[in-house]
Chains A and B, each alone.
Chain A
Amino acid sequence: MKYTPEKLIQFENNVCKLFNKKKIRAPIHLYNGNEKEIIKVFKKVKKNDWIFCSWRSHYQCLLKGVPQKILLKKILNGKSIALTFKKYKIFSSAIVGGNIPVALGTAISLKRKKSKSKVFCFIGDMTSESGIAHESIKYAINYNLPIQFIIEDNDLSVCTDTLKTWKMKKLTFSNKKTKFIYYYKYKNKYPHAGSGKRIQF
């Protein structure tokens, strides 16, 4: 299925509605405002490439080909926080930075197997400043591994201001668009978790 920004937004809005109706008894982390950028990233992604995400991964799953019905079933089953599908080569983690060295390991193995496949690893702005991100990005660049890190900057980690807490004027990888790093900024209308509406379960 070919996704437009409108179709992605429609999916998230539907998940939001289901959450508000108390149909999902687990945390959800919704995307919004990055549709054009993420569609652009996925123009480079091939069927046998690998995708590594954090807790916010509905768009990546759809764009990698997970059927909406299957994805929604997982979300309704409370699995939104770490959506992982072997068939579609998607791994997600609810742990900050946790996906990064795992993505690196897959990239090393692809290179050793002389595969043409590539790894795309999605991380947020706070995660991009973590020690594990810096170690892994350094290793990936130095060994010319088949991996790109996509840094999605919404200025926040939960509700914490990333730049202010690190006392930085800009992120280390701010505005980078290289073979290894693709940075973009967006503003999400949804909060870190949930729908923005108080639900009494």
Chain B
Amino acid sequence: MKLKYFSELKRSMEYLAKQRKTLFIGQAVEYPGTAMYNTISAISKSKKLELPVAEEMQMGITLGMALNGLIPISIYPRWNFLLLAVNQLINHIDKINDISDGEFDPRIIIRTAVGSKRPLNPQSQHLGDFTKFFKESCKNINVQKLTKSEDIFRTYKDALNSKNKINLIVEVADFYNEK
């Protein structure tokens, strides 16, 4: 059986990496250690910036880079880890258009995932899915969950080109090995 979910993610990341302004940032972008790393392992080191574990700092850096014209792809391997960055996400990234009266219009891609339960169940602190909460809480962030393999490439391509410039894309880690 061909696992399309993973291969579509890999194809999407390689497409994003070809764009001049993009940069992959986060923990485990240059070093292995997460399932998401495997989707970007073939991408050149020059397109990656490994960051310390400092989730809020990472989300702030994401916005700061985007204000100056880069397109960060900011990676949080699990929803539960992204929760530590909510201040920057809701108070700044979601509000930048409002506080600048539309002058700043950065393009940002945030990747996160619902943690995998199989083959090992990491228990409740690693399995959260807050998609609904963030859809309701963010006015200017396009929050999308990838449940179908065939939607993956188009979703990431749109995140780079469409009018919705700030995208939070939620993957389902169990599908990496199952779909």
The chain A residues found within 8 Å of chain B, CB to CB, are 50, 74, 79, 82, 84-87, 91-93, 95, 98, 100-110, 112-113, 132, 135-136, 139
Q: How far is the CA of A197 from the CA of B35 in the complex (A)?
A: 58
Whether B60 contacts A100 by the Cβ 8 Å rule is yes
| B146 at interface, CB cutoff 8 A | no
Q: How far is the CA of A110 from the CA of B92 in the complex (A)?
A: 20
| B42 at interface, CB cutoff 8 A | no
Whether A102 contacts B100 by the Cβ 8 Å rule is no
Residues of chain B lying within 8 A (CB to CB) of residue A113: 68
What is the interface size of chain B, counting residues whose CB is below 8 A from a CB of the partner? 31
The distance from the CB of A118 to the nearest CB of chain B, in whole angstroms, is: 12
Interface flags, B64-102, vs A, CB<8A=1, else 0: 111111101000000000000001100110011001110
15 additional A-B residue pairs with CB within 8 Å, beyond A86-B100, A100-B60, A135-B57: A85-B103, A91-B67, A91-B100, A98-B88, A98-B91, A102-B63, A102-B64, A102-B67, A104-B57, A105-B63, A105-B72, A107-B64, A108-B65, A109-B69, A110-B68
Which residue from chain A places its CB closest to the CB of B63 in the assembled complex?
Answer: A102
Q: How far is the CA of A139 from the CA of B51 in the complex (A)?
A: 10
Whether A95 contacts B92 by the Cβ 8 Å rule is yes
The distance from the CB of B70 to the nearest CB of chain A, in whole angstroms, is: 5
Whether B92 contacts A93 by the Cβ 8 Å rule is yes
Whether A101 contacts B103 by the Cβ 8 Å rule is no
The distance from the CB of B20 to the nearest CB of chain A, in whole angstroms, is: 11
Q: How far is the CA of A106 from the CA of B61 in the complex (A)?
A: 7
Residues of chain B lying within 8 A (CB to CB) of residue A103: 64
B58, B68, B72: most-surrounded residue (chain A CB, <10 A)? B68
Interchain CB contact (< 8 A) of A101 among B49, B59, B69, B70: B59
Q: How far is the CA of A107 from the CA of B57 in the complex (A)?
A: 13
Q: Known: A86-B100, A100-B60. Is A106-B87 also a contact (CB below 8 A)? A: no
Whether A82 contacts B99 by the Cβ 8 Å rule is yes
Q: How far is the CA of A49 from the CA of B57 in the complex (A)?
A: 21
Which residues of chain B from 95 to 147 have any CB-CB distance to chain A below 8 Å in the complex?
Answer: 95-96, 99-101, 103-104
B49, B57, B62, B87: most-surrounded residue (chain A CB, <10 A)? B57
Residues of chain B lying within 8 A (CB to CB) of residue A104: 57, 60-61, 64
Residues of chain A lying within 8 A (CB to CB) of residue B87: 95, 98
Whether B64 contacts A86 by the Cβ 8 Å rule is no
Whether B60 contacts A84 by the Cβ 8 Å rule is no
Q: How far is the CA of A110 from the CA of B100 in the complex (A)?
A: 21
Which residue from chain A places its CB closest to the CB of B57 in the assembled complex?
Answer: A101
Whether B104 contacts A108 by the Cβ 8 Å rule is no
Interface flags, B28-57, vs A, CB<8A=1, else 0: 000000000000000000000100101011
Q: How far is the CA of A54 from the CA of B144 in the complex (A)?
A: 32
Interchain CB contact (< 8 A) of B52 among A50, A91, A107, A139: A139
Q: Known: A87-B103, A98-B60, A139-B57. Is A105-B91 also a contact (CB below 8 A)? A: no
The distance from the CB of A136 to the nearest CB of chain B, in whole angstroms, is: 6
The distance from the CB of A96 to the nearest CB of chain B, in whole angstroms, is: 10
Residues of chain B lying within 8 A (CB to CB) of residue A136: 57, 60
Q: How far is the CA of A67 from the CA of B54 in the complex (A)?
A: 38
Q: Known: A101-B57, A101-B61, A108-B49. Is A95-B100 also a contact (CB below 8 A)? A: no
